[in-house]
Amino acid sequence: PAARVSPGAVYDAPRDRIVFFGGHTGSGTVNQLIELDLGTMAWATLAPGGTVPAARLYHVMVHDAAGQRAVIHGGVLGSAAYADLFTLDLTTDTFTQVAPPVAIPQGRWQHTGVWDEAVGRLAIAGGYVGSGLEALTDGAADTWFWGD
């Protein structure tokens, strides 16, 4: 696959690979799912099933080891800052768009996210909104959690 900047990535230990989604290549921003097989050090472009997220970069991608999935939130493409949430089943490489029971925060990019294994939830904070550099500055008021 083409070199890229600002994709999301997770380490998938059971399958000994790193999985990457999105990012920007020399040809533009993509919504490709690629992997690096750590046993063979071979790259592959995957053909995921389900509802594949739109092309994006600067998104959050975290690993839920117990659920054997990755969770993707937000990101940006041009002037569109995404306020969406997807899971990627790492056993089947299938995406699912999630409609959480609580409101998803406004679209954002270059934010921070972690998966809290102890309680089984995503936590995100900060980042930029819109296509400008209107920084979100109130971290305490701008922390968001999701878990199913």
16-32, pLDDT tens digit by residue?
A: 999 999 999 999 999 99
Q: Predicted confidence band at 132 (pLDDT cuts at 50, 70, 90)?
A: low
Please give the full DSSP string across 53-64, using - where no structure is assigned: PPS-BS-EEEEE
DSSP state at residue 5 = B
pLDDT mean over 98-117: 87
Residue 26 is predicted with a pLDDT of: 92
Q: Which of 100, 105, 106, 101 is nearest to 87 (CA)?
A: 100
Burial of 74 by CB count in 10 Å (0-12 exposed, 13-18 middle, 19+ buried)?
Answer: buried
Q: What predicted TM-score, i.e. pTM, was given to this entire model?
A: 0.91
Contact status, residue 29 vs residue 22, Cβ threshold 8 Å: yes
Rounded to whole angstroms, the Cα distance separating 28 from 25 reads 5
pLDDT mean over 88-93: 98
Q: What is the pLDDT of residues 22-79, one digit of tens each?
A: 999 999 999 999 999 999 999 999 999 999 999 999 999 999 999 999 999 999 998 8
The two tokens of residue 106 are 């406004």
- pLDDT > 70: percent of the chain: 92
